[in-house]
Every structure is written in structure tokens, then in C-alpha cells.
Structure 1
Amino acid sequence: MSETVVRGRRARWSARASAPSRAKAVAPVGPGVLDLKAFPAAKTGLPLWPLTAMFGLMPVWWSLGIWYFAWPFFGLLLFVLLTARGKVRVPAGGVPWLILLGIVLISAVRLAKVTQVSVFGLRFGYLCTAFLVCLYVYNLARDQVPWGRIANPLCLYWLSMVMLGWLGVLAPKLSLPSPFLLALPDGMANERFLTDVARIDATEFNPVSANPIYRPAAPYPYTNNWGTAYAFLVPFVLACLTSLRSGPMRIALLVSLPLSIVPAFLTLNRGMFIGLGAGALYLLGREMLRGRVRLLLPVALILLIGWLATLFIPVVDLITHRTSTTDTTADRFDLYRQTWAAVLRSPLLGFGQPGSVDTTHAAEPLGTQGMTWQVLYSHGIPAVLCLYLLLAVVAWRMAAAVTPTGLLLSSLPIIAVAVTPFYAFIDPNMSVLFFAVGLGLAAVDGPVNRIARVAWR
């Protein structure tokens, strides 16, 4: 019979015990194996294949050019399945989520043109899908579906992202229209936003530069999106490695983690480094305050691998070269200043969406270059306050974690807060973040079926 930790005391669950509706801390310690006789699996009625189709088959949707457009439809599928199941449990943060979605929807009245409705609807769909992914994952985990099986689609997503990152390293000039883009009428195919999200590009670079820097971006249209996903997924991958003791997926994750450092460094994403640094400091600070050092070794090992990579990849020199030739920092601060001045003209509901969907070529793409600024400009001050309230509530609840797996996942809202001033993630990355958050919230809210010594299938 295994044991669980509840607010610092050990409690042995009898075979007749029933799963509590809201436990006080993350479930297993030691090997992390719950007695499944004490907590029999529920008839969930929620299949895993929608998550596999969304996350595991991401390279297929990207190669067809429909990934960004299909994502909200996957969210609609999750909504139908959750509604059909009924008795949906809502984790911490549900109320701020719903308020945020309501404010965003109302802000549509501020759109200047009818033609902007489609792009607004797409972004609103990304937000709704992220909320539904969190609900779906949370309910699967609370219904005792094996933790590893639920995490498997996001692990496949990580492996695909690393593979496509290496595509940018080995074939940086790869750029061709997708089948979806070729099928569009000429008028629609010339729209910059459609070209960006539906084109097959391995890297992002400035085409007018005499000496362009090719930064891995695939499957995303912009390299900053790749860096944001990387910052969200690294703690998740480490959490999986602490939970899984054997099996092919563990081997794949162990191999992919050091391999991912090369494309990650070549993105030159300063915000990515800031986010991961904030997460590492949070974890180390928590452990040191509690007099524990068990996370020092893996964090130190990752830092060592990163330092060794800099011996072969001149990251600092590349970033210095980029900032000295593009004035990217000065451009960002100028955008922030102009964005804030514009928000003061419509502080409650913003302007519905950013000033331009093109963050590279527009003269003044207000409301871009950061999640904070996008939400602030597009949906107003109440919306951005609600976003930070959501992340604060999630961080507070996930801070109850006590196992290495739970602790690593608890760094996700901290990383999200750290990157919000620099990178926006109202796209599939929002779902990536809240997929992992859903797993973490389920673990602190009650027993989960986390079998550490069985290979994932």
C-alpha cells in the first residue's frame, strides 16, 4: 500500500477509501505508485485520441499548412466530448479563465473593420481551446487515466518540435508554399498573415538583409513562438523523466533534451532564456527555503550542458551581432511606449486585436512583441489584469506540489509570467502551456494514476 503526502503529514489509505474530491497536495512520494485497488479507475468516457490528433500529429497539420487554422476546431471537438460526458471538474483558475474569455469576446465591438472578424475569431479560438485542453487533461487525470498515457501526446509534440528545429539547423533556407496555401485564391494567398502561418518555412530571417541570420522557427511562423514553446516544454519533459523509469519514450526524451539545445540556442531568443532562468530560480529558491537540494543536481547538469554548448555555438556573439544590426531592443521599447499611449485611448476594451498581424514588416505593429502588450492593446486593462490573476491562481495552487514531478510543473506559471512582456502566446502555445498545467493541477487536487515503473504504450 502506497502513501500520499497531505500538508506535511503521512496518511495511509485503506482499501475501502474513496478518492477525495480535493486533496491537499500532490499524490505520490517515493516511487509514486498509488494502490489502484484503493482508487479504482472511473469510467471516464473521454478518449485520448483527440489529444493525440492535436499534439502528436502536429507535423502532419503543419506540412499541410492547416495547423493554425485547424487548432480551434480541435478545441470545438474537445468541447463536444466534455459536454457529452457531463460532470466536468473545473480546476483552480476556472473563474479567471471564464472572465478573461468574456472580456475578450466583448472587445470584438472595438474592431475597426468587418474583415478583422476572421482573425479575431481565430485568436479567440486559441484562447478557448487552451481552456478546453486544460479541462480535458485535468478530467482525464482525475478519472485515473494513467498519467503517462495522458502526457504522451505532448511528449510527441516536443519530439516533433525538436526534429523541426533541427530541420531549421540543417536546411535553413527551406521555404515553400503548403498545399493549403496553393489551394487558396490569389487574393487570399497574398494576405501576409495567411502566408506566415500557412507557409512551410524552416527558419525566420530578414530577406532584405545582406547577411541574414537564419533562426529555427518550424513549425511556427516566427522563431519567438518556437522559443516560447521550448520554455514551456522543458519543465514538462523534465517532469516526465522524473516520473518515468523505463520505456522507449523515456529514452527518446533523454536523447532529445540535449539535442534540443542546438536549435534552441540558434533561435537567439532572449525571452526564452529569461523564462527558463526564472523557472530555475523559482525551483531552487523553493528547495533551498525548505532545506532540500534534490533539484540542484538536474538543474546544475542542464546548466553544464548549456555552458558546454556555448563552447561550440557562439550564442553571445550571435545575439550581440543581431542586436547591433537590427536595433531590436530599441524597437521593442518604442513599440511598448506607443502601445501604452494607444491603450489610454481605449483602456477598458482595447481595439479588438493588434494593430497589424505582421510583426516584422509593419511600420507600427502595435499590440505585438509580447503577451502583455497584445492583451493590453487588443482587449484592455481589465483583460491583462485577469490574465495575470489567472497565472497567479494557478501558481498558488500548484505550489502545493511536493514531488519532483509536481515541483517541475509548478514552475510553468512562473515561466509564463516571465515571458509575457516579451513573447505572445495566443496561438497553439497557449494550449501547450495549459496541457502541462492541467496535469499539474490534477496532481495537487487528488490522487492520480502515476505508475512510475511501467513503460508508456
Structure 2
Amino acid sequence: MTAVGAATRGARSTAVTWQVTARRGSTPVTGWPVVWLLAGYPLWWALGMGQFAYWLFAVPMLAELVRRHRTVGLRVPPWFWLWALFLVWTVLGLALVTVEMPGTVPGSGGYPGAVLRVINYLVLTVVMLYVGNLTERELPVRLVAWSLAVLCLVTIAGGYLGMLAPTFEFTAPLEYLMPGALVSDPYMQTLIHPASAQIMDIFGYESARPKAPWEYTNIWGYMISLLLVWLMVAWVIQGTGLARWGALVAAGVSVAPIVYSLNRALWAGLMLSLAFGAAQALRRGRVVLVGAGAVAMVALSLTLALSPLADVVRERADNPHSDDGRAATNAASVEAADLSPVVGWGTTREGQGSSDSIAIGPSAECPGCGQHVIGNAGQLWMTLIASGWVGTALFVAFFAVVAWRYRAAVTVVGQGALLTVLLLFWYMFFYVALMSPLAVTMIAVALLWRVEEPLVAGRRATRAGGVW
């Protein structure tokens, strides 16, 4: 029994080492690629690198993992084999990229997008293993949370840029270095050309929806939802003084671009995050905190109701805009998975016609007709068409097992990371997670593994010793 108690105390000591800052003269912090990748993202966006910055920093991360594998050995998170199998499935799906799928535009698949997707998954695997294998002295967990909080402030600033200067854009240095044919590709333009907003016709007139520093306004919405979690963790809960109050002010002013993004799934996702936070606080017995939070939410809701933002919300509710198109393409993703349930079709396809017309291609009379991309309305639908039912089951199962294993997270970082993973199960129906949102989710998996796994091991050791 004494041995079990010692093991449990040792596990708890390991789990909270993220609270200790590395002392001078100790092992140097080698996790600089993570800090530069996250906190420096505005620079990579301005250079035109965007999501390709993950590729760049994955190189030193992979080199460190190889070195570790040769010296002290490489660790992987529990149930990693599910994710490894999913990676295998994405590669197997490449064999079907050129196969014509019934009901789609011939030749609308193609290897570039499929290979790009596989590389992105591999890169994010490297990021997860890198964050998970480094020690607290090499990469303090607090530093990772701080970097994500900085990225949150950048995203809020980008939201205001999209609101106040919706036509702002410029030619990035990377565009001058790439071949003209590649730069002119619409999808590549979205990835490498910095712009502040997406101009879309939702209310019968053009509306600016913030997206900087991300590729799409939906990605902006997904990212602000995830990063607000880490702003709360790093600078509100763990922070003190001006940092704490500054973070609270930043969270408050983020409401305006969040409303003007017109992202209904984002609005619901924020409500789910608040409910999760309230449940965690109640579990810790912090009833007063929950009550104060409820009062603050009521005050905020009343303020919004009396402001012009309320009109935007009501008008968005009255204009569903893309619901029919999403329903049609999502149903097509399910049909695609039914036709090739094991490995899918390797990549997305363009559907022949749409919910508005069987015409191939939009026209002046029917701008919503034809050639809608099947699988671009959410991570779940993209995975269904690209990897089939089996590949999708592997993808979902990995994150479900992670969430279940660490469902009793007790540290602040662990609870923030758990919420980050859980939000995937909401947003996967509406937004594509690849690349940046899934990167944050994979980092959260690594943090759960580092911070909460010793506690899980301690609880299991306690049960095995007959102590409850």
C-alpha cells in the first residue's frame, strides 16, 4: 500500500511539472519550432506560407524525433495504432484517385489535392509526437499554452482587420517565387495569398466575413473557438494582474468579429465551450464562480440585444444561405462512402449538378448550380469520401478514445486540451479541420498525454493495489 501511494504521489508530481519553469543552466529549451510556428504565424501568413509553415517546422521536429529514437527511444500516445492505421488508409486511398466515381465530374479528383492531404496528416503526426516526447524542461507546457494564446490575439486582430478593411490583400513574397500556373490556381491562391476577409452574398448583398490570418472564414471561426480556450487557460486562469485583465478584455472584444463572421456553428460551439467550463467548475465545487459567470453572460447577452450586432444575428438566422447545398453535398459524401466503404475514393470530387439544378456549372440565372465539391462541408464528410467508412471510423475512434481516456482531466491544461479535442466532434459536421484546427487538436492530444497520462497511470496503480 505504501508503494502504491508513492507511485500515485510520483505520478501527480510528474503531472504538475508543467507549472515549473525551467531553471537557468538546466537542459536548454529545444521546443523552439513549436513556439515559432504558433506565435510567429502572422509572419508566415504575410510571407504567403500559411499552412506550409507546418511543413517547414516539421523538418527540425522530425530530425529531433529521429535523434531521440536512436538515443532514448520514441514514445507514442496510448491507442496511437488507430491513428497509424488511419494514415495507412489515407495512403491506400491514393490508388482510387483516378477511378471515376458515379455522379461526379470526370477528372475532378486529381493527385495534387490528395497527396497534399496525406502530407498534411503526416506533418501533423510529427507535430503531435514532437510535443508529446519533449520533456518539461525542453518544452514547458505553459509555453505551449502561451503560444496558443498569442495566436488567439492574432486571430482576434485579424477579425477586426476583416471587419474594418474587408478588401485588404497583398501579394505575398512566396507568390513571386512560384510558377505562374501554380499561383493562378484558385485553391493555391487561397493558401498563399493574404487577404483579410471573404466577400460573400448571404443577405442578398455582399457581406465581408473575417478570415485573416487563415484561409477561409470557416477556418477563422474554428480557430477562434479553439484558441479562446487557450487564452483562458494561459492568461486568465494561470495569468495574473494585467495579463489576466487584458485577456478578459480581448475575449470580450472578440464578440464583434465573431458575430460578423456569420458562422452559426461557431456561435453554437462557443455555447458548448461555456457549458463545458461551467461543468468543470461545478465539479470542483466552484459554485460562486459559475454564478458570477452566469451573471456576466446575462449582462453580455443584454448588451448584445441592445446593440447593432443583434440585427446581424437575426438576419443570419433568417437567411440560412448554404443549408441546401451543404445537405446535398453531405448526402453525396455518404453515398460515396457507401460505394467504396473500405478505402473511399482517395480525395474529394465535384458533383454533377446540385440541389438547385442538374446543370453542370453555375450560370447567371443559377449561380448556385453545378460542380459543388463533395466533402468540403466538414471534416467528417471529407474523410468519408476520401477514406470510406473504415478510414472515417479509424479517424473518429482515435480522438474518441483519447477523450474517453482523459475524461477525468484534473489539471487546467488537461481540461483545456480535453475541450479542444471534444470540439472536433462538433465542428467536424460543419468545418474542415485540416490544417490549422487539426494542428491545434493534435497539440492538445500531446498535452493530454504529457500532463494527464501520469495521473491515469497512478489511478490504475491504485486500483490494482486494491485501494479506491
**SS state at 2:170 partner:** strand
Correspondences of 1:280-359 after superposition (within 5 Å): 280-285=274-279, 288=282, 293=287, 296-297=290-291, 299-300=293-294, 303-304=297-298, 306-308=300-302, 310-311=304-305, 314-315=308-309, 317-322=311-316, 324=318, 327-355=321-349
| TM-aligned CA distance change 1:379 to 1:312, over 3 Å | farther
Tell me how far apart the structure 2 counterparts of residues 392 and 294 of structure 1 sit (CA, whole Å).
32
Structure-1 residue corresponding to 2:193: 199
Higher relative contact order (CA 8 A, sep 6+): 1
Greater shift, 360-369 or 422-431, is seen at 360-369
Structure-2 residue corresponding to 1:428: 436
Deviation of 1:297 (Å):
4.8
Tell me how far apart the structure 2 counterparts of residues 222 and 47 of structure 1 sit (CA, whole Å).
32
Greater shift, 307-316 or 232-241, is seen at 307-316
Structure-1 residue corresponding to 2:52: 69
Tell me how far apart the structure 2 counterparts of residues 286 and 245 of structure 1 sit (CA, whole Å).
19
Q: Is contact 1:68-1:428 (8 Å) kept?
A: yes
| TM-aligned CA distance change 1:50 to 1:160, over 3 Å | same
Q: Does residue 1:52 correspond to 2:25, yes or no?
A: no
Aligned length: 427
Q: Is contact 1:46-1:140 (8 Å) kept?
A: no
Q: Is contact 2:329-2:372 (8 Å) kept?
A: yes
Deviation of 1:259 (Å):
2.3
Question: Partner letter of residue 96 of structure 1?
Answer: L
Tell me how far apart the structure 2 counterparts of residues 208 and 227 of structure 1 sit (CA, whole Å).
17
Q: Does residue 1:104 correspond to 2:90, yes or no?
A: yes
Structure label with greater radius of gyration: 2
Question: Partner letter of residue 32 of structure 2?
Answer: W
Tell me how far apart the structure 1 counterparts of residues 258 and 130 of structure 2 sit (CA, whole Å).
30
Partner of residue 449 from structure 2, selected from 432, 441, 447? 441
Q: Is contact 1:274-1:418 (8 Å) kept?
A: no
Unaligned runs of 5+ in 2: 99-106, 352-360, 362-366, 456-468
Question: Partner letter of residue 122 of structure 1?
Answer: L
Q: Is contact 2:29-2:139 (8 Å) kept?
A: no
Structure-1 residue corresponding to 2:213: 219
Question: Partner letter of residue 375 of structure 1?
Answer: T
CA-to-partner distance for each residue in 1:412-446, whole Å, 9 max, x for gaps? 22211111111111112211222233223311123
Q: Is contact 2:219-2:437 (8 Å) kept?
A: yes
**SS state at 1:213 partner:** strand
| TM-aligned CA distance change 1:277 to 1:96, over 3 Å | farther
Greater shift, 294-303 or 160-169, is seen at 294-303
Greater shift, 65-74 or 423-432, is seen at 65-74
Question: Partner letter of residue 262 of structure 2?
Answer: L
Tell me how far apart the structure 2 counterparts of residues 318 and 35 of structure 1 sit (CA, whole Å).
45
Tell me how far apart the structure 1 counterparts of residues 295 and 16 of structure 2 sit (CA, whole Å).
25
Deviation of 1:65 (Å):
1.1
Partner of residue 262 from structure 2, selected from 258, 261, 268? 268
| TM-aligned CA distance change 1:215 to 1:63, over 3 Å | same
Deviation of 1:325 (Å):
5.0
| TM-aligned CA distance change 1:286 to 1:108, over 3 Å | same
**SS state at 1:205 partner:** strand
CA-to-partner distance for each residue in 1:251-309, whole Å, 9 max, x for gaps? 55334222222212211111112223233334444555676536625753663465255
Q: Is contact 2:82-2:398 (8 Å) kept?
A: yes
Partner of residue 95 from structure 1, selected from 81, 85, 92? 81
TM norm structure 2: 0.79
Q: Is contact 1:204-1:221 (8 Å) kept?
A: no
Q: Does residue 1:419 correspond to 2:405, yes or no?
A: no
Unaligned runs of 5+ in 1: 1-10, 448-457
**SS state at 1:435 partner:** helix
**SS state at 2:431 partner:** coil
User: More helix per residue: 1 or 2?
Assistant: 2
Tell me how far apart the structure 2 counterparts of residues 28 and 423 of structure 1 sit (CA, whole Å).
34
Tell me how far apart the structure 1 counterparts of residues 61 and 267 of structure 2 sit (CA, whole Å).
33
Correspondences of 1:354-373 after superposition (within 5 Å): 354-355=348-349, 363-373=371-381
Structure-1 residue corresponding to 2:63: 80
Tell me how far apart the structure 2 counterparts of residues 72 and 202 of structure 1 sit (CA, whole Å).
23
**SS state at 2:167 partner:** coil
**SS state at 1:238 partner:** helix
Question: Partner letter of residue 175 of structure 2?
Answer: L
Tell me how far apart the structure 1 counterparts of residues 349 and 37 of structure 2 sit (CA, whole Å).
29
**SS state at 2:374 partner:** coil
Structure-1 residue corresponding to 2:400: 392
Structure-2 residue corresponding to 1:152: 146
Deviation of 1:93 (Å):
4.1
Question: Partner letter of residue 418 of structure 2?
Answer: S
| TM-aligned CA distance change 1:64 to 1:207, over 3 Å | farther
| TM-aligned CA distance change 1:338 to 1:50, over 3 Å | same
Tell me how far apart the structure 1 counterparts of residues 289 and 135 of structure 2 sit (CA, whole Å).
25
Q: Is contact 2:97-2:109 (8 Å) kept?
A: no
Tell me how far apart the structure 2 counterparts of residues 444 and 305 of structure 1 sit (CA, whole Å).
35
Question: Partner letter of residue 100 of structure 1?
Answer: F
Q: Is contact 1:46-1:81 (8 Å) kept?
A: no
Correspondences of 1:123-162 after superposition (within 5 Å): 123-141=117-135, 145-162=139-156
Structure-2 residue corresponding to 1:453: none
Deviation of 1:68 (Å):
2.3
CA-to-partner distance for each residue in 1:79-101, whole Å, 9 max, x for gaps? 12111123232223422221111
Deviation of 1:376 (Å):
0.5
**SS state at 2:78 partner:** coil
Deviation of 1:235 (Å):
1.8
Tell me how far apart the structure 2 counterparts of residues 153 and 231 of structure 1 sit (CA, whole Å).
16
Deviation of 1:215 (Å):
0.8
Deviation of 1:111 (Å):
1.1
